[in-house]
């Protein structure tokens, strides 16, 4: 069996397979289907300082080879997470990572500071694709200055592994990755969803309540791979790749273009055991090709 261990900053993962936020609940919902301890880690639902109801329905639409969603970060807030959910997550032999979102820099920092207190959460993933209300509804993650400002504030409030999740809805994602690296991010993950739309011509309206939504699934994989490849060349910190991974072969593509680990999202809705199949398939591929350590294939494609 090949060695599958990888490192994201100080965080040692037993294998490079994580779950993507918003597609795996709090992990507990999947405990009947898979052994959560077999994962490199699981990234739980987007958590904000205050509770959020999310957007009106409909919030999801199927597309060719993918889906659109506009869930809108529905969650009960960080205090609910700390008191009700966290106690159920302390005994896993797999890293639990919290995805942190916010509408203002102050909210992000306060949410991260609260999670910093939780002994069994070794890392957060900062979702910087949310609206920056104070500056008029633009996401922090679409400019270098916006991305840097939120990471700077969170870095002061959070002492453990800080992963910053990048938005693909930009022209130069490598520049944004460099900006967050300069402010102390330990890793970047990408991609979040691509902005999209779907129209119901009979009703003459969008299939989503707020008009647009985030596209995910196999249709985004080529874009995600291109961006991961660009970012991996642009920064020194480890890159986590995601977007449309459905099987071990897809995951290996991300590793070969420079990702140290991968996240699996939409595929969990199709097969709740997909993560385990990806780990097994990765192992088989490495064995068949005589590769003793997964790190040997990371970034082999220039």
Ligand X SMILES: Cc1cc2nc3c(=O)[nH]c(=O)nc-3n(C[C@H](O)[C@H](O)[C@H](O)COP(=O)(O)O)c2cc1C
Minimum distance between the CB of residue 301 and ligand X, rounded to whole angstroms?
20
Dihedral sign computed on CA atoms, order 269, 239, 73, 158:
positive
The question of whether 144 is a catalytic residue gets the answer no
8 A C-beta contact, residue 184 and residue 237: no
- Which of 220, 228, 274, 298 binds ligand X (CB under 6 A)? It is 220
Minimum distance between the CB of residue 236 and ligand X, rounded to whole angstroms?
23
In the sheet where 213-216 sits, what is the strand order? 60-63, 66-69, 213-216, 194-196
100 binds ligand X (CB under 6 A): no
Minimum distance between the CB of residue 133 and ligand X, rounded to whole angstroms?
17
* Residues 178-207 close enough to bind ligand X by CB under 6 A: 192-193
Interstrand relation of 161-165 and 205-206 (parallel, antiparallel or unpaired): unpaired
CB-closest chain residue to ligand X? 22
Q: Could you tell me which stretch among 152-160, 195-203, 215-223, 251-259 binds ligand X (CB under 6 A)?
A: 215-223
In DSSP notation, 163-197 reads EEEPPS-SS-HHHHHHHHHHTT-SEEEE--PEEE-
Q: Could you tell me which stretch among 106-114, 131-139, 153-161, 264-272 binds ligand X (CB under 6 A)?
A: 264-272
Give the total of residues touching ligand X (CB under 6 A).
24
Q: Could you tell me which stretch among 16-24, 139-147, 171-179, 252-260 binds ligand X (CB under 6 A)?
A: 16-24
Pairwise CA distance, residues 163 & 99, whole Å: 9
Minimum distance between the CB of residue 143 and ligand X, rounded to whole angstroms?
18
Beta-carbon neighbour count of residue 271 at 10 Å?
Answer: 14
Alpha helices in 97-172 (DSSP H): 105-116, 144-157
* Residues 116-155 close enough to bind ligand X by CB under 6 A: 127
Chain centroid to CA 170: 17
Active-site hit among 70, 130, 144, 219: 130
Nearest C-alpha neighbor of 151 from the set 235, 71, 83, 251: 235
Distances from the Cα of 93 to the Cα of 41, 150, 177, 253, angstroms: 9, 31, 30, 27
- Which of 22, 72, 102, 241 binds ligand X (CB under 6 A)? It is 22
Minimum distance between the CB of residue 82 and ligand X, rounded to whole angstroms?
17
Q: Binding residues for ligand X, per CB under 6 A?
A: 20-23, 45-46, 69, 71, 73, 99, 127, 165, 192-193, 216-217, 220, 242-245, 264-266
């Amino acid at each position: 069996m090949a060695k599958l261990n990888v490192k994201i900053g100080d965080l040692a993962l037993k294998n490079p397979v994580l779950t993507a936020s918003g597609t795996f609940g709090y992990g507990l919902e999947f405990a009947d289907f898979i052994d959560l301890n077999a994962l490199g880690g699981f990234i739980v639902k987007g958590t904000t300082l205050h509770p959020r109801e999310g957007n009106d329905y409909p919030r999801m639409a199927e597309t060719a080879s993918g889906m659109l969603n506009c869930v809108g970060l529905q969650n009960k807030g960080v205090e609910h997470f700390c008191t009700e959910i966290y106690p159920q997550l302390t005994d896993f032999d797999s890293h639990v990572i919290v995805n942190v979102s916010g509408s203002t820099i102050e909210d992000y920092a306060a949410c991260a500071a609260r999670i910093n207190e939780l002994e069994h959460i070794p890392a957060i993933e900062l979702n910087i694709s949310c609206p920056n209300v104070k500056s008029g509804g633009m996401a922090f993650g679409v400019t270098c200055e916006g991305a840097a400002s939120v990471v700077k504030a969170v870095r002061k409030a959070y002492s453990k592994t800080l992963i910053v999740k990048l938005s693909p809805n930009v022209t130069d994602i490598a520049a944004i990755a460099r900006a967050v690296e300069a402010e102390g991010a330990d890793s970047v993950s990408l991609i979040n969803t691509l902005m999209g739309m779907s129209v119901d011509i009979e009703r003459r309206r969008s299939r989503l309540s707020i008009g647009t939504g985030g596209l995910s699934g196999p249709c985004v994989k080529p874009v995600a791979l291109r961006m991961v490849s660009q970012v991996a060349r642009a920064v020194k910190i480890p890159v986590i790749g995601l977007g449309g991974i459905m099987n071990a072969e897809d995951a290996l593509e991300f590793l070969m273009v420079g990702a140290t680990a991968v996240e699996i999202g939409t595929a969990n809705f199709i097969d709740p055991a997909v993560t385990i199949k990806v780990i097994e398939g990765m192992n088989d591929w490495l064995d068949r090709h005589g590769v003793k350590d997964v790190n040997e294939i990371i970034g082999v494609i220039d």
